[in-house]
Amino acid sequence: MTELQAERTPETLSAPRIETRSFRSRYLDVLIALVAFAVLAALPLFFGSKALLDFVIRCSAFGLFATSLNLLVGYTGMISFGHGMFFGLGAYGFGLLMQRTGVPIPVAFVATLLITAVVAAIIGAICVRLKEIYFAFVTLAFQMLIHSTILTWTSLTGGDQGLRGGIPRPAFLGIDLANHVHLYITSCALLVLGLLLMRQIAQSPFGYTLRMIRDNARRASFIGIDVWRAKLTVFVLAALFASTGGMVMAMFVSGAYPEFAYWTISGEGIFINMLGGVTTFLGPMVGTVLLLNLNDTVTRFTEYHGIVLGVVILFFAIGLRKGLMDYVLEWYTQRRDGSGERG
């Protein structure tokens, strides 16, 4: 919308417009989500390839994780280098509950989320007050603490061997996660639902509070926003979705390994965000698909995939200085008006 048009729009007309637009955008999101889910769910009917379905399941796990990290990095400006701990926590929490208690899967799912929320609230309460670089490293330190706890508490976690012997997956509500297609559909459903919920968070009044904190936390506090509480809230919310990603991963590999809680998961999450771009909601999802593809390709050709990955990161960080979707968005807005306006 240009300035001239805005001037012509009578004040009385813009009132309902604001509300209808926000109503409409929500229904549009739900519609897109339903279509995306339908397409994903129909995939096994047309492609019999197990590898493709496996790839989508992994994308679900990492996509949930990376998008939740973007709630912190992109929307709130909190660079967490320890977000992977909640991915690991989800995988281990879910795996252990299933192995040790034998509760139904939905119960274990909810219980794991509750545990994650409590742990995230405690760690967040300590971390969110800290300035950006301190925040990044203290979250990283907590990640290392959880990782080393997993390694040393062998009687519970199996130490460096991980949770072995498989995670029991009893059928519930007619869903049998031991069945590959069922597992696939469930992962897709969790992904789509998770993305939809995170989209809602991003577009809610709270989402705009987060943007204000990212832009200018001091000013936000001077219009009456409790910055600490808002940051803690989003820290816990993001942890819940990361934990869900970890649970998808645990269901997929039927186990949990210390690598799920290692700092490199967080590093990859940050890189995925960078790769896809932090200015669009789906950027991290694009980044996930790119990185997993890149990883799979590179590991096929060389055992030194750290070098290749490192060079790619350098290309993006020093060369482009922004992510792929950031580029697309910039190109799109420039084509549309070029004046720096936003819709």
Residues 140-169 binding other proteins (CB under 8 A) are 140-142, 144-145, 148-149, 152-153
Radius of gyration of the chain (CA): 21
Distance CA 124, CA 246 (A): 19
Site for other proteins in 34-53 (CB under 8 A): none
Which among 43-51, 111-119, 122-130, 186-194 is the span making contact with other proteins, rule CB under 8 A?
122-130
Which among 21-29, 85-93, 108-116, 186-194 is the span making contact with other proteins, rule CB under 8 A?
21-29
Answer for which of 10, 48, 165, 224 binds other proteins (CB under 8 A) is 224
92 binds other proteins (CB under 8 A): no
Q: What is the DSSP letter of 159?
A: G
CB 330 within 8 Å of CB 342: no
331 binds other proteins (CB under 8 A): no
Answer for which of 101, 172, 226, 297 binds other proteins (CB under 8 A) is 226
Answer for which of 126, 156, 171, 178 binds other proteins (CB under 8 A) is 126
DSSP string for 240-265: HHHHHHHHHHHHHHTSB-GGGGSHHH
DSSP reduced 3-state for 290: helix
306 binds other proteins (CB under 8 A): yes
- CA distances (Å), 208 to each of 23, 84, 101, 239, in order? 16, 25, 41, 19
CB 145 within 8 Å of CB 258: no
Distance CA 273, CA 279 (A): 9
Q: Per-residue contact track with other proteins, 183 to 212, x per CB under 8 A?
A: -----------------xx-xxxxxxx-xx
132 binds other proteins (CB under 8 A): yes
Which one, 240 or 251, has the nearer CB to other proteins?
A: 240
Which one, 56 or 230, has the nearer CB to other proteins?
A: 230
* CA nearest to 195, candidates 78, 284, 86: 284
Q: How far is the CB of 323 from other proteins (least distance, A)?
A: 10
CB 236 within 8 Å of CB 124: yes
Q: How far is the CB of 268 from other proteins (least distance, A)?
A: 9
CB 329 within 8 Å of CB 279: yes
Which one, 50 or 341, has the nearer CB to other proteins?
A: 341
